Amino acid sequence: MASGKERRRAERLPTASIPVQLSDVNGELIDLSLSGAAVIHRSPVRPGTPCTLVFPSYGGFYIPCQVLRSVVQVRKGERGSEYVFRSAIQFSPIPAEQEPSLFEFINLQIERLREKQREARGK
């Protein structure tokens, strides 16, 4: 049986909690790759559900996707512990004419994350 890392189609990079929406559920993007992402949110989302990942702070960039799995986690914060959902999502196929703008957007985000990682290592 393959490990989770071997099943992934692309390298995932941790993000600095980017605000997103998973269809109508507010959340935080916590990692990103060319083929999918992970989102933390407070309302449940059923695995297998088709949805849209929305980046409101980037002009409302929309990516069609599907929830692969969603698990409950306890997150400790300044105000104590809270239950959140961590969902793994896979980007859905999109029309060929939209692919260049999607890949440009994701690659730009990934390059920004790599630059932050390089800066952090240099300190």
- E strands in 3-120: 13-22, 25-32, 36-41, 50-55, 61-77, 80-91
Chain CA centroid to CA 53, Å:
8
- Residue 14 within any structural domain of the chain: yes
Write the pLDDT tens digit of every residue in 36-62: 999 999 999 999 989 999 988 777 788
- Residue 122 within any structural domain of the chain: no
Write the pLDDT tens digit of every residue in 64-91: 999 999 999 988 878 888 899 999 999 9
- Residue 73 within any structural domain of the chain: yes
- Residue 89 within any structural domain of the chain: yes
- Residue 44 within any structural domain of the chain: yes
Which residue segment(s) compose the domain that 28 sits in?
9-117
Number of domains within the chain: 1
CATH of the domain at 56: 2.40.10.220
- Residue 57 within any structural domain of the chain: yes
